[in-house]
Chain A
Amino acid sequence: MGNPFPLSKVPVGRKVRVTDLKLEGFQRRRMLDIGLVPGTEVKVIRRSPIGDPTAYLVRGAIIGLRRDEASKVLVDEN
C-alpha cells in the first residue's frame, strides 16, 4: 500500500482500487452513483488520442471521465 494517487495518472491497462473522492456535493454524488465507491476496482481501458477523456471499467460498465474529474478520484495499487 503506497500513497493514494489520482486516477487520472494511471496508465492504460492498469487496475487500481478507489480509496477516496476529493469531491463534494453533486459531483461527489455523481461519482458514487456510477459506482466509484471507496474499495471499488477500476481498470483503465483507453485514453482518447488527445489524452482526454479516458474510458474506465467500473463494476462491469465502461465510464468516460474527463481528466479534471478523474484527478479528484484517489486510488491505490490493486
Chain B
Amino acid sequence: MENCCQSCVSRSFSADVTLRGRYNVWQETGREKVIALAGNPNVGKTTVFNSLTGMRQHTGNWPGKTVTQAQGRFVHDDHSFLLVDLPGTYSLLAHSTDEQVARDFICFGRPDATIVVVDATCLARNLNLALQVMEITNKVVLCVNLLDEAESKGIRIDLEALSEKLGVPVVGTAARSGRGLDALKEALCRVATGQVAPAPLAVAYDEEVRAAMEQLLPRLEPLLQALPHLNPRWVAMRLLDGDEQFLDSLTEHTGAGQPEAKEEVLLCPQ
C-alpha cells in the first residue's frame, strides 16, 4: 500500500471513512472506534446512550430519512469511541424505515462493534433482535439493561450462562444509576479493538435451506471481501429470502456489478 500513488493511499485509507460518511458518521481520527447501539423500543437504549456519552453528543437525521440519528463520543482506557444510536426496532428484516436504517448501518456502516441493549424484565422477547444482530456480525456485546427493575420483580439473570450460550460478552446494567457502565465500556473496548473475537451462536437451519445457502457462498464470498464483518451466510439467507431491498443496499454499498465511480478514475490517472 505504501508504494501506491497519493490518491490511492487516501482511497484505501478512507474506504471505511467514506462508507460511514454516507451515514453522516465522521470519525475525528482514523483510530476512533465506531460503535452501533441497537435495541428494541423502550429498553432504556437512550439512557445507555446518554450515560455513556454524557454531553458529548450530536443529533441529526439519517441521510435521506426522517429518522433521528444521535451520535456521541466517549473515551475509555485511552481509546476514543463514537457511539451511533440506531432506531429502536424488534427486528432487522426491514419491514419499516427504522428497521432498514438500523440494518443498513450494522451491515454497511462497518461498526467496530455493536451493542444490543435488551430489557432484563422480558429477555425472551428481546433476544430475537440480539440473535438477528449476531447472525450479521460477530462483533456484538449484549447489554442486559434494567437489571434494577428485574430485581424488584424478582427476576434474576445468570449473565455468565447467557454469555456462554450466546457466545458473546454479556454485561448487566442499570443505566439510570450508572451501574455496570464501566464493565460495558471495557467489554466494548475489547471487542472493538479485536482483543476479544466473539463466536456467536449459529442459528441452525433445515438441511434443505442450509444446502441452498452453501451453494450461494462461493459466489458471495468474493463480493463481500470489502465487508469483512458481514457474515456471508446471513447475506445468502437474505438473497434466498428474496429480500430485494437488501439486495439494493448491497449493490449500492459493494458496487458489485457497477462500473467504477468517475472520481476514482480521475484520482488515479495512471
Contact = CB atoms under 8 A, between A and B. Distances in A.
A33 B122 contact: no
Contacts of B93: 26, 29, 33
Contacts of B95: 26, 29-30, 33
A26 B119 CA distance: 25
A13 interface: no
B125 interface: yes
A60 interface: yes
Nearest to B243: A26
Interface in A11-51: 26, 29-30, 32-35
B146 to A, nearest CB: 11
Given A29-B93, A34-B90, 14 more contacts: A29-B91, A29-B95, A32-B128, A33-B93, A33-B95, A33-B128, A34-B125, A35-B125, A35-B128, A58-B125, A59-B125, A60-B122, A60-B125, A61-B125
Interface residues of B, number: 10
Contacts of B119: 60
Interface of A: 26, 29-30, 32-35, 58-61
13 contacts: A29-B95, A30-B91, A32-B128, A33-B91, A33-B93, A33-B128, A35-B125, A59-B124, A59-B125, A60-B119, A60-B121, A60-B122, A61-B122
Secondary structure of the A side of the interface? Answer: mixed
A32 B93 CA distance: 11
Contacts of B124: 35, 59
**3 pairs of A and B residues whose beta carbons are closest in the complex:** A60-B122, A33-B91, A59-B125
Contacts of B128: 32-33, 35
A60 B93 CA distance: 22
B90 A59 contact: no
Contacts of A29: 91, 93, 95
A32 B125 CA distance: 10
